[in-house]
Amino acid sequence: MDAPREKRSRGCYTRNVRRLIVNADDFGLTTGVNRGIMESHQRGIVTSTTLMATAIRFPEAVSLAKETPQLSVGCHVLLVDGTPVLNDHEIPTLMEDSTHSFRVKLSSFAGAAVTGKIDEQQMEAEITAQVRKLQSASIEISHLDSHKHTHMFPAALRAMLRAAEKCGVQAIRNPFEPLVFAKFGTWKRSFQLRLLSTLRSNFRKALDRAGMKTPDGCIGVAVTGGLTEQSFAQLIDALPQGTWEFVSHPGYNDRELDQVRTRLRDSRDKERTILTSTAAKEALDRAGIQLISYREL
């Protein structure tokens, strides 16, 4: 019998099967988020997570990661809606005026990035500093992604690719979700998916040139903040062949989360419940989908 046909998949190789990385973003954000991510890995289907270098519960997350070596840990790069590792004067074009924080809104970042108002070398320096902070804490970084998917924009992607090469990181999230999944989200999310899909082709070409590993794309972006058990099962059933990443944000909606600027609150509880449910595991089994982590790319 012939071996299964192997095909090229924009930065990685996959066979004619369906494989899924389930990544939990925002590791380190709060103790409740850390707890939710660990539970979703230990009792559920989460295989990877991404750690925020300047999050308030960064030390706790590092400790948990070291106690859980089977969990693949990447860096959740912050270029918007957060604080930097470097000093303000080192990265002035990334900063909101008169504040010690990045621009709050993604639209503001995008406008500045596409018009050349953000210095790419400053972005590269900040991304490198965030990655190095994790590495200095003895975290073996499996991959990079970014808060609000800022690396979908060419200038940020170029900076991230240079930082990844400098730091020895070999995999990056492909943040683009196939348009077939747009119907599962709100009209606003669906519109954003269609608008941003124009960046997809150049993104893939850039990763190919850099020799960077990446999944075929993401799922779950359109339903972020509104995931249900039903929509999860529908996403899994519709998953194309190849290697994909499911983007998730499990956690606990507690008092500490009230002190954090985030639109994802009740949804973190709901996602944690779904990701640790028997129904989610059964949906993957029925579809014959293999769970992997970023380390296995």
Its pTM stands at: 0.90
Q: Kindly give the pairing relationship between strand 141-146 and strand 72-77.
A: parallel
* Residue 251 in domain: yes
* Residue 266 in domain: yes
Q: Is the pLDDT of residue 29 over 50?
A: yes
15 pLDDT tier (thresholds 50, 70, 90): low
Q: What is the pLDDT of residues 104-124, one digit of tens each?
A: 999 999 999 999 999 999 999
Instruction: Domain of residue 99: give its range.
Output: 6-296
Q: Is the pLDDT of residue 9 over 80?
A: no
Length of the chain: 297
| 3-state SS string for the chain | CCCCCEEEECCEEEECCEEEEEEEEEECCCHHHHHHHHHHHHCCCCCEEEECCCCCCHHHHHHHHHHCCCCEEEEEECCCCCCCCCCHHHCHHHECCCCCCECCCHHHHHHHHHCCCCCHHHHHHHHHHHHHHHHHCCCCEEEEEEHHHHHHCHHHHHHHHHHHHHHCCCEECCCCCCHHHHHHCCHHHHHHHHHHHHHHHHHHHHHHHHCCECCCCEECCCCCCCCCHHHHHHHHHCCCCEEEEEEECCCCCCHHHHCCCCCCCHHHHHHHHHHCCHHHHHHHHHHCCEEECHHHC
Q: What is the pLDDT of residues 261-284, one digit of tens each?
A: 898 899 999 999 999 999 999 999
- Max CA separation in the chain (angstroms): 67
Residue written as token pair 């991510």: 37
* Residue 1 in domain: no
CATH, residue 85: 3.20.20.370
* Residue 238 in domain: yes
Q: How many domains does the chain have?
A: 1
Q: What is the pLDDT of residues 164-205, one digit of tens each?
A: 999 999 999 999 988 666 656 555 555 555 556 678 888 989
* Residue 262 in domain: yes
